Amino acid sequence: MGKRLVVKGWNMWMRLWAAMVVLCAVTACAAPSVQPNAKDAAETEAIALAEAKAQLVTYPKYGDSDPHPWSGRKPWSYPVHGIDVSRWQGDIDWTRAAASGVSFAYIKATEGGDLLDPRFRAHWKDARRAGVRRGAYHYFYFCRPAAEQARWFIRHVPRDPQALPHVLDMEWTPHSRTCTRRPSGARVRAEADRFLDILEAHYGRHPVLYTTVDFYRDTGIGRLAGTEFWLRSVADHPRVTYPGAQWQFWQYTGTGRVPGIEGDVDLNVFGGSAERWLRWSGQI
């Protein structure tokens, strides 16, 4: 009697096991997922950060055809440097530029509502091939509506998940042959908001806004909420030239000399640590 019960019990469990195997075959039972714990995630992120930092060339110091005698904090005290370029730089040896410490490039794409920089596509492609993080910028004219200019930019600048947030370049244009208007500060801010919102909806990140000292002062453009700024200041640190302003990029000269580029080029720094740069630019 005892043996028959044992055998009967064993047979019952075998039938249950076989039924479960059949059921899983029919319903595609999935193995329980194993979630990494916080320690594993932190270790993985630390490894990724170390690898990304090892690829950066930090604290470069470039030549300048018209050097400024900096006092206080100097541009080369920042670890991450980059350039902004247009057709005027001609052909660029992007591999040499990257090896010298160019970590990012902002490339002129469009101007107003009808001009495309003829070197944009080549610079865009070649910078990526050399491993330089790049974004595109638009030079704004006050003689066309912001929405029209935003559509012109979108027409020519492709979506790229690896691209930096694109840039709206707003400054006065007193030497333009076609548009020298100087709208009120309220009008300027409204047009900037419109342009930035359209690009954010299309590309998925809020653009950066580049501007100059007089334009910043005259228009109150610094009041735009949620906007990161790229400020031109070639004679002093931005904290002196733009008191109280928060900035992401600082353009510190227009007469820089960089390996791989013939002639002068604009030089810029990112206003944070190497780690912050890697996070902001989406590399980790």
Give the number of other Cβ atoms within 10 Å of residue 43's Cβ.
12
* φ/ψ (deg, to 5) at 244: 80, -5
Q: Which of 111, 117, 126, 169 is catalytic?
A: 169
Rounded average pLDDT over 233-256? 98
The model's pLDDT over 73-125, given as tens digits with 9 standing for 90+, comes to: 999 999 999 999 999 999 999 999 999 999 999 999 999 999 999 999 999 99
> Which of 131, 210, 129, 126 shows the shortest CA–CA distance to 165?
210
pLDDT at 137 (0 to 100): 99
Q: Is 40 a catalytic residue?
A: no
Rounded average pLDDT over 205-227? 98
The model's pLDDT over 41-66, given as tens digits with 9 standing for 90+, comes to: 888 888 888 999 999 999 999 999 99
What's this model's pTM, rounded to 2 decimal places? 0.86
The answer to whether the beta carbons of residues 203 and 140 sit under 8 Å apart is no
Q: Which of 84, 117, 264, 266 is catalytic?
A: 84
The model's pLDDT over 144-182, given as tens digits with 9 standing for 90+, comes to: 999 999 999 999 999 999 999 999 999 999 999 999 999
pLDDT at 37 (0 to 100): 84
pLDDT of residue 1 exceeding 60, the answer is no
CA distance 48 to 221: 37
pLDDT at 42 (0 to 100): 85
CA distance 134 to 124: 7
pLDDT at 29 (0 to 100): 52
pLDDT at 5 (0 to 100): 39
Q: Which of 64, 93, 171, 197 is catalytic?
A: 171
CA distance 126 to 93: 9
